[in-house]
């Protein structure tokens, strides 16, 4: 399954808003076959959220985001995943 990184601009988002968006996103993905949210990273300083997904296509992630009311700035497919353990 392809892995993707999604960049979202969400300036001045509160923790309450993050919780609401997360719930809405999970509800949408329950009905979408093959789209799996792995984790997200929030940068308050940049007003960005970086999300990691497994999905059959970037288009399905874009559709899930639209249904959840989430912005999408960019979707990048991950071609190689590296970790420090690989280089010991």
pLDDT tens by residue, 13-59? 888 988 998 999 999 988 888 999 999 999 989 999 999 999 999 99
In-domain check, residue 88: no
In-domain check, residue 83: no
* Rounded Cα distance, 69 and 46, in Å: 20
Any idea what DSSP says for residue 11?
Answer: T
Is 78 in contact with 3 (CB distance < 8 Å)? yes
pLDDT of residue 82: 93
**Mean pLDDT of the region 61-88:** 94
In-domain check, residue 67: yes
Residue 73, C-beta contacts closer than 8 angstroms, at least 6 positions apart:
7, 8, 9, 48
CATH number for the domain harbouring residue 19: 3.30.70.3090
pLDDT of residue 81: 92
Q: What is the number of structural domains in the chain?
A: 1
* Rounded Cα distance, 86 and 15, in Å: 35
In-domain check, residue 84: no
| pLDDT single digits (tens) 46-65 | 999 999 999 999 999 999 99
For residue 63, the enclosing domain spans 3-78
Q: Is the pLDDT of residue 75 over 90?
A: yes
Q: How long is the chain?
A: 88
In-domain check, residue 85: no
pLDDT of residue 11: 85
């Amino acid at each position: 399954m392809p892995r993707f990184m999604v960049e979202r601009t969400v300036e001045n988002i509160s923790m309450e808003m993050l919780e609401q968006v997360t719930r809405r996103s999970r509800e949408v993905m329950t009905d979408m076959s093959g789209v799996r949210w792995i984790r997200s990273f929030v940068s308050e300083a940049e007003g960005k959220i970086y999300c990691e997904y497994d999905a059959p296509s970037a288009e399905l992630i874009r559709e899930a985001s639209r249904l959840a009311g989430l912005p999408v700035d960019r979707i990048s497919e991950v071609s190689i995943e590296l970790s420090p353990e690989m280089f010991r």
